[in-house]
Structure 1
Amino acid sequence: MVESTCGRIYLKRMTFFLNLTSLFFSLSFYLVVIALEEKVIVSKLGDNATLSCIYRGRELYLKNLRVYWQIADDQEECSVVHALISGQDNESEQCIHFKNRTQLFWDRLENGDFSLLLLNVSQSDKHTYKCVVMQKTEYTKMVHQAEVVLSLAASYSKPILSGPIRNSDSTGEEVTFSCRSGNGYPEPNVYWINKTDNSHLHPSELKITPHDDGTYSVFSTLKVKATSNMQIECSVENKILQENLSANYTQQKQNNSSSIESHKNLEKNGRGAQAAGIISVVILIGLLAVLTCWLRRRRSSKLVSYTGNEALYLPDQM
């Protein structure tokens, strides 16, 4: 009897332990699933952003629903972004910052899509948003919730890279490069790269300036010793948008030689054209001289002929 009783107690304890272990793993799995349901979306400043909240359970009736979009940060004084009560928008508790900037997709509500469209996204909209769907039957209960993290970004302009125009004897001298870009968000990463060996160079100066619209501009300089074959790249990275814009500099020595050669060719062509012009003028003067002489000789011959005829005519009259 004692052994049988001990066996039953041991079996009950083992069963309880197994159930507890199973519950623990179930809760752990459930928590992991909830964590994976949090969505992160990226929106550019000034664009419209869609905050997703989709319920895939049983059919719901709008008249029995309350849908709340709110800021999940408890530190905010006003947290109501949008509210739908009994099938109608309710703006009584909506934050002023979101007035006339939010709307639901009415043609999707009956299908369980409670996503929110946020218009003209600004820097102050960077929050974690929570969607709560509640159903009222005999009592009010929550049937769905979702969280959306809204990250903001703006593309930077193509970098402008300025560098020295080298002379043939400037090798070994310290030269300065500058790189600038703007109208981006968030703060960028700036890289200087020596393209001859793809090594990273440390900037001499890096200045990031915030603007009133929330965007940033960046200015950076690089000082290096001049070499016979300089190839420098400035790269501006926006991590959120996964954009990497770059500008390149290649030594200008050969270009200067080409410019000098081109200038010499232009001078030669100019001299040739000048000589041709002079020759043309000389030929024209010669032709005019020949024509003038011919006209004079012709006129002289006519005068001689006229005088001779007059002399022959006079004796006959006498």
Structure 2
Amino acid sequence: MVPKSFGFMMFLWVQTAANISVTGIIGSTVELRCDELNGTFILNNFRVTWRKEGEIKCFVETYDSDEDLTSYREKNQCADFRDRTRFKEELKEGKFTLQLLRITPKDEFTYTCVVLKKNEEGKFEVHREVKTNLKVAANYSAPVLTHIPSGEETTFNCTSSHGYPQPKVYWVNHTDISLLNSTQQYTRAPDGTITVFSTLTVKAATAIKLECTIENEQLHQNLTATIDTSSPENSPSVDNSPSKTKGAVLASVAAVLIVILLILYIGWKKRRTSVLMTYTAPAEIGNRNFGLPE
């Protein structure tokens, strides 16, 4: 049976502390690291408990080599984490890394790994704490861009789904490279992912080229769709690659200039060679007999 002092001793003094940030993808497995790397390691001298910030009535996962924790875990493990946690098979190496399975947005918290170590008197005391800030994210789908002409106005819609967290949406008018104001609606799926529906209304014009960008700051993801009403097909295109940087654009311009200069040099070289081949020196002209009487 687990001693009652086991739970209370977790709130005693702490010798060392660390803070870690990690991002996990919805539906996948994320690892929360907590390694004991100082000096000689003997597993039987340690107890480990993972807790969620602000939760004192239950734990996420726990380990004690000297105790059978089956009944203790059933009574005290937080219900949201049952059958979703496990330690990696590296405990004997001093690695108390916790694997959290099938993560959802509800798992976005700060977690604390509390390590207790047996002292010279055989009692367990808090040895160190490691805090891990878990961020949850998901990639958005390629945006779908459509438009509906209506009299003096045209409405453009941009939709992207299955992402997390809530994205930023940008509309750019390529005519004058200006940002346009739009309205956004967000809906959540059962798995916590988000669908964004952005609407932009502009005055009707003979031709306009627009760009809709969905930005997921957590994953540094930018998805862009463009539409050109002057195009015969009038169909939008999607660019899922990262936006070109200023340096990349300058490099492209420099490459074009080099090619142009090279072509001009080759043309000049050919013309110069042609002139040299047909050129006759004045001295030769003066000594040449043209068939005229002397």
Pick from 187, 193, 202: which aligns with 1:215?
193
Distance verdict in 2 for CA 1:255–1:218, change over 3 Å: closer
- SS of 2:60's equivalent in the other structure is strand
Q: Could you give the per-residue CA deviations for residues 6-38 of structure 1, whole angstroms, max 9, x where no partner exists?
A: xxxxxxxxxxxxxxxxxxxxxxxxxxx95xx31
2:180 aligned partner, one-letter code: L
1:120 aligned partner, one-letter code: R
Give the TM-score taking structure 2 as reference length.
0.67
The within-5 A match list for 1:216-295 is 216-255=194-233
- SS of 1:80's equivalent in the other structure is coil
1:126 aligned partner, one-letter code: E
Verify the 8 A CA contact 1:134 1:140 in the aligned structure 2.
Answer: yes
- SS of 2:159's equivalent in the other structure is strand
Counterpart of 1:309 in structure 2 is none
1:147 aligned partner, one-letter code: K
CA distance in 2, matches of 1:80, 1:233: 48
Pick from 118, 121, 128: which aligns with 1:144?
128
CA distance in 1, matches of 2:147, 2:190: 30
Give the TM-score taking structure 1 as reference length.
0.62
- SS of 2:44's equivalent in the other structure is helix
CA distance in 1, matches of 2:223, 2:66: 47
1:146 aligned partner, one-letter code: V
Counterpart of 2:165 in structure 1 is 186
The within-5 A match list for 1:97-246 is 97-106=80-89, 108-137=90-119, 138=121, 139-164=123-148, 173-203=152-182, 205-246=183-224
Q: CA deviation at 1:212?
A: 2.3
Q: Could you give the per-residue CA deviations for residues 135-174 of structure 1, whole angstroms, max 9, x where no partner exists?
A: 12413222221000111111111110002579xxx9xx42
Verify the 8 A CA contact 2:28 2:103 in the aligned structure 1.
Answer: yes
Distance verdict in 2 for CA 1:233–1:87, change over 3 Å: farther
Counterpart of 1:79 in structure 2 is 58
- SS of 2:80's equivalent in the other structure is helix
Counterpart of 1:58 in structure 2 is 39
Distance verdict in 2 for CA 1:88–1:45, change over 3 Å: farther
Larger Rg: 1
Q: Which structure shows the higher helix fraction?
A: 1
2:132 aligned partner, one-letter code: V
1:227 aligned partner, one-letter code: A
Counterpart of 2:49 in structure 1 is 68
Number of equivalences: 214
Instruction: Calculate the aligned-residue CA RMSD, in Å.
Output: 2.4
Q: CA deviation at 1:110?
A: 2.4
Q: Which runs of 5+ in 1 are unaligned?
A: 1-32, 257-318
Q: Which structure shows the higher strand fraction?
A: 2
